[in-house]
Amino acid sequence: MNESKIAVRYAKALFLSAQEQNLIDEVRKDMILVLELCGMDDFRDVIDSPVIPNSKKRQVMTALFKTNVNEVTYSLITLAVNNNREAFLPGIARSFIARANRHEGITPVTLTTAVKINSNNRQSFIDIIEKDLDTRADLDEVINEDISGGYILKVGDLYVDASLKTRLRKIRNELINKQ
């Protein structure tokens, strides 16, 4: 079975269970925690290792999650480990978060800048996006010094590159093409 299909099916089951119990926001926070842990090399080494027996993986998951996440989330994690699907946890978490965001009318937004923006500018971006696109924005800030200045904004399929790096590249190409 395709990896993404497995993750989507587990995420859908988790979503339906969370929805039934009115726990979508709580489980979303849990899935963000799972995704953050899956980004750590040591954790990935444990869940991806074919050498580590399932019993040890279960112990690790119990120690990490039993008291730190909702019972619904913990049940899904345990089910995934018992079915040798722990390697799919990052995909399950991403899929659940996307589904929950769609359900709640939240649009993920990525803002890339050369330096950290202040809270007033951050709120201005959020207000403009929410007003113009009639959605709730979940703004994720990325710092990338390579863009030199300006910003790159990604909202769903919309991509706005107002970075200094791109502007300079366009000017350079125009000058080269005129010669």
124-166 tens-digit pLDDT: 989 998 998 888 998 899 999 988 888 899 987 888 898 888 8
Do 17 and 39 sit in the same domain of this protein? yes
Cα–Cα separations (whole angstroms), residue 164 to 91, 141, 168: 34, 18, 6
Helix (H, G, I), strand (E, B) or coil at 141: strand
Look at residues 54, 79, 102 and tell me which one is the last residue of a structural domain: 102
Look at residues 49, 74, 102 and tell me which one is the last residue of a structural domain: 102
Q: Partners of 140 in the beta sheet?
A: 110
Q: pLDDT class for 3, splitting at 50, 70, 90?
A: low
In the DSSP assignment, the letter for residue 128 is H
Count: domains in the chain: 2
Do 113 and 165 sit in the same domain of this protein? yes
Parent domain of 114: 106-178
The pLDDT of residue 9 is above 60:
yes
Do 7 and 82 sit in the same domain of this protein? yes
Using CB atoms within 10 Å of the CB of residue 43, give its burial: 0 to 12 exposed, 13 to 18 middle, 19+ buried: middle
Quote the radius of gyration of the chain (alpha carbons, Å): 21
State how far the Cα of 13 lies from the Cα of 88, in Å rounded to an integer.
Answer: 14
